[in-house]
Chains A and B, each alone.
Chain A
């Protein structure tokens, strides 16, 4: 919503529909809301909470009440975010850099920081719940290496959530008391050090980008294997690379601060570490492609999203490397190139994977099938719209269009208009998704237990699952072995091949 307004403003080089203040508030709101309210909790909380207990073959997550608390906290956090608008908004950007954020006249900073603080707790509780569930509640017979890769991804994510989010918590807490009471820890006028804020912030926020992307990668691992009807290629490498990303992700935060005045030795170290974090991501991409190789690929809607993901994430990740090397960074920092980079990874990565996962598990969650045709069209629209919107921004970035400006010089007009048109295409795609998903609830045909032929445990129970998830204990096997699943047109889904024993 806010995003569409921001882009519309950019149809003409000067003021179109709003002033500079409104623009500043708008992109800040968009950034903070998207990151803290949707992208971070999106896959773990929305899909993970449903799928995780099914995949481990448990009746529920380990702490259902904690889970509920985390949901309420999310709502409270959202309320604070809205409240921040009502009291006057805020224009600090989603990063809340001090000392600007402690001195800006807009009154919304404290509410939004409080909101983000509360959302942080929600995120921590989700992660805690996942770790304990995976450790303690796996079905009898399921070892660590019989788990679907989505669980490995959620596990890695949960580790990051638990280890990084508290640091964001204390940072925001300090920001709040600083603004409310004038503590001065980050305020140079009182002897404090504003750069410390940036370190704290990115110590959380770089790992946070992996909170966003690692579960997305997990979803993709499932989709690619199921829709290629082929065992995932080198299971262990994918599993370990999730953990590797979680660990390396903690060591690279300084790449957001190359231009902040930190020493060049530190810059060099952070740059080198940034490159190393790309290795596990590349391992995964390689394994996905290898899985598809000679597979029997069916282009159902979820698979289309998975393929879009591969394409977009490759671009996003590679441009991350441009930004991670020092010389190019100095040129590209705070330009549209950065904006395009993180949209390719956050939107092209996380949101696309979320949509893919949503389409994959939708029949399991709701017990209804949606129209695959409409799904494919929507996916196509979103793919085109997205590229139109953000690829143009790469070009503008390299030509020097700075981010967070509401006016721009004439030379960028064509590209800006194209980018805005892309946004509208994107919007249409989303409306279509919303339409047919809601429609499926009302009129969709009943979903079979196993519409796609998945071999992980969630497909062994009915769609939607009963209250305690499984009416009889699930049989644990290799989650990527599709050999004994056959399509049965009568139930319009897959079922286990019944061995006649006469062999």
Chain B
């Protein structure tokens, strides 16, 4: 508001939240809201690329997805879905409180949303750690520990060699010696490969026909693709959760300071929109990655 020297506003009393180039608060609010929606559209398109990659690979190689998704824990995934849904609810309630000028309600709701976000990240951490310990990683680092397959010692020599001195791989191998370690997923279910149709060749999918990692046991080829997709999608989503938490933390601070009221709650509204989008993307990710049939 440095430049505000000459112009006197038409509105009767000067509002500190009104930027100099807007005529009224409504105009400012509408502009902000339109801007946010456009931004959300770009976010959806950003994820759109990944969803597109997902559909291409799933259509071309359904067997990979059916086999590999069993290593994901439906329990943790469902829990996280509930947590995020609840956080969207508290967020929406928070916006309502801001509109009505309920100061305490707003602060409580934002704090709850923040808490849910952290719970989500915590659960994600547990899941990632488990994948890491079992070598269920993306692309080049995929080196699973086949606990139920005695011939795996020979097989593990194939494919891309694990990194020299890779601590996680080393520990995973060490753990695989002890019989107590069993995958905590539904991995025990043996996939009936006969039921899975052979992959059609997709547009330009020729290269992947002859190339890629070998399969062994009941495991189809190129399982690492699933984990690449899994880590990319949930990873990018996780980054968005972190950004969302930072924004919520920021408006929480402002809310405690008493910045918002029925006359001015634009930031709460906009951060709310963003948070709902993050939630919505997870709602799609959960069935796509965890609930495959």
**CA A189 to CA B159, docked complex, whole Å:** 10
**CA A192 to CA B6, docked complex, whole Å:** 61
**CA A185 to CA B222, docked complex, whole Å:** 11
**CA A59 to CA B31, docked complex, whole Å:** 15
User: When the two chains form the complex, which single residue of B6, B38, B141 contacts A468, counting CB atoms closer than 8 Å?
Assistant: B6
Query: In the complex, which residues of chain B have a beta carbon less than 8 angstroms from the beta carbon of A187?
Result: 139
Query: In the complex, which residues of chain A have a beta carbon less than 8 angstroms from the beta carbon of B27?
Result: 136-137
Query: In the complex, which residues of chain A have a beta carbon less than 8 angstroms from the beta carbon of B138?
Result: 181-184
**CA A127 to CA B56, docked complex, whole Å:** 30
User: When the two chains form the complex, which single residue of B21, B56, B140, B212 contacts A196, counting CB atoms closer than 8 Å?
Assistant: B56
Query: In the complex, which residues of chain A have a beta carbon less than 8 angstroms from the beta carbon of B6?
Result: 468, 471
Q: Is the CB of B38 within 8 A of A162?
A: yes
User: When the two chains form the complex, which single residue of B207, B211, B222, B232 contacts A177, counting CB atoms closer than 8 Å?
Assistant: B232
User: When the two chains form the complex, which single residue of A166, A189, A266 contacts B212, counting CB atoms closer than 8 Å?
Assistant: A189
CB distance from B138 to the nearest CB of A (A): 5
Number of A-B contacts (CB under 8 A): 158
Q: Is the CB of A128 within 8 A of B211?
A: no
User: When the two chains form the complex, which single residue of B7, B46, B56, B211 contacts A189, counting CB atoms closer than 8 Å?
Assistant: B211
Q: Is the CB of A200 within 8 A of B221?
A: no
CB distance from A426 to the nearest CB of B (A): 37
Given contacts A181-B140, A194-B207, whether A59 and B21 have CB atoms under 8 Å apart is yes
Q: Does B206 contact A (CB under 8 A)?
A: yes
Main secondary structure of the interface of A (DSSP, over half): helix
Q: Is the CB of B139 within 8 A of A190?
A: yes
Given contacts A191-B224, A193-B204, whether A131 and B212 have CB atoms under 8 Å apart is no
Per the 8 Å Cβ criterion, residues 147-182 of A in contact with B are: 162-163, 165-167, 169-171, 173-174, 177-178, 181-182
**CA A171 to CA B6, docked complex, whole Å:** 48
Q: Mark B6-30, 1 if CB is under 8 A from A, else 0.
A: 1100000000000111100001001
The size bracket of the interface on A is 35 or more
Given contacts A137-B31, A174-B49, whether A192 and B208 have CB atoms under 8 Å apart is yes
Q: Does A481 contact B (CB under 8 A)?
A: no
Q: Does B281 contact A (CB under 8 A)?
A: no
User: When the two chains form the complex, which single residue of B7, B39, B60, B224 contacts A190, counting CB atoms closer than 8 Å?
Assistant: B224
Q: Does A58 contact B (CB under 8 A)?
A: yes
User: When the two chains form the complex, which single residue of B21, B22, B31, B232 contacts A185, counting CB atoms closer than 8 Å?
Assistant: B232
A residues adjacent to B (C-beta < 8 A): 58-64, 66, 124, 128-129, 131-132, 135-137, 162-163, 165-167, 169-171, 173-174, 177-178, 181-185, 187-196, 200, 260-263, 266, 467-468, 471
Q: Does B177 contact A (CB under 8 A)?
A: no
Given contacts A190-B139, A193-B56, whether A163 and B228 have CB atoms under 8 Å apart is no
Interchain residue pairs A-B with the least CB separation, the first 3 = A182-B140, A195-B204, A184-B139
**CA A190 to CA B232, docked complex, whole Å:** 15
**CA A62 to CA B48, docked complex, whole Å:** 28
Q: Is the CB of B53 within 8 A of A191?
A: no
Q: Does B96 contact A (CB under 8 A)?
A: no
Give 20 A-B pairs besides A178-B139, A181-B141, A192-B208 with Cβ atoms closer than 8 angstroms.
A62-B35, A63-B31, A63-B35, A129-B35, A131-B38, A136-B30, A162-B38, A162-B42, A166-B49, A167-B48, A170-B47, A174-B53, A182-B139, A184-B138, A185-B225, A188-B212, A190-B212, A194-B204, A194-B207, A261-B204
Query: In the complex, which residues of chain A have a beta carbon less than 8 angstroms from the beta carbon of B52?
Result: 200
User: When the two chains form the complex, which single residue of B39, B202, B225, B236 contacts A184, counting CB atoms closer than 8 Å?
Assistant: B225
Q: Does B217 contact A (CB under 8 A)?
A: no
User: When the two chains form the complex, which single residue of B35, B46, B56, B208 contacts A170, counting CB atoms closer than 8 Å?
Assistant: B46
**CA A162 to CA B39, docked complex, whole Å:** 8
Query: In the complex, which residues of chain A have a beta carbon less than 8 angstroms from the beta carbon of B183?
Result: none
Query: In the complex, which residues of chain B have a beta carbon less than 8 angstroms from the beta carbon of A183?
Result: 138-140, 228, 231-232
**CA A305 to CA B160, docked complex, whole Å:** 58
CB distance from A170 to the nearest CB of B (A): 3
Query: In the complex, which residues of chain B have a beta carbon less than 8 angstroms from the beta carbon of A182?
Result: 138-141
Query: Could you jot down 24 A-B contacts, CB within 8 Å?
Result: A64-B21, A66-B35, A128-B39, A137-B27, A167-B45, A167-B48, A169-B49, A173-B236, A174-B49, A181-B141, A182-B139, A182-B140, A183-B140, A185-B139, A190-B139, A190-B212, A191-B213, A193-B56, A193-B204, A195-B207, A196-B204, A261-B204, A262-B203, A467-B3
Q: Does B34 contact A (CB under 8 A)?
A: yes
Q: Is the CB of A260 within 8 A of B204?
A: yes
Query: In the complex, which residues of chain B have a beta carbon less than 8 angstroms from the beta carbon of A163?
Result: 41-42, 45
**CA A61 to CA B27, docked complex, whole Å:** 13
**CA A108 to CA B163, docked complex, whole Å:** 24
Q: For B225, give the chain A residue with the smallest CB separation.
A: A191
User: When the two chains form the complex, which single residue of B49, B56, B206, B228 contacts A167, counting CB atoms closer than 8 Å?
Assistant: B49
Per the 8 Å Cβ criterion, residues 57-83 of B in contact with A are: 57, 60-61
CB distance from A326 to the nearest CB of B (A): 16
Q: Is the CB of B50 within 8 A of A170?
A: yes
Q: Is the CB of A200 within 8 A of B49?
A: yes
Q: Does B219 contact A (CB under 8 A)?
A: no
Q: Does B205 contact A (CB under 8 A)?
A: yes
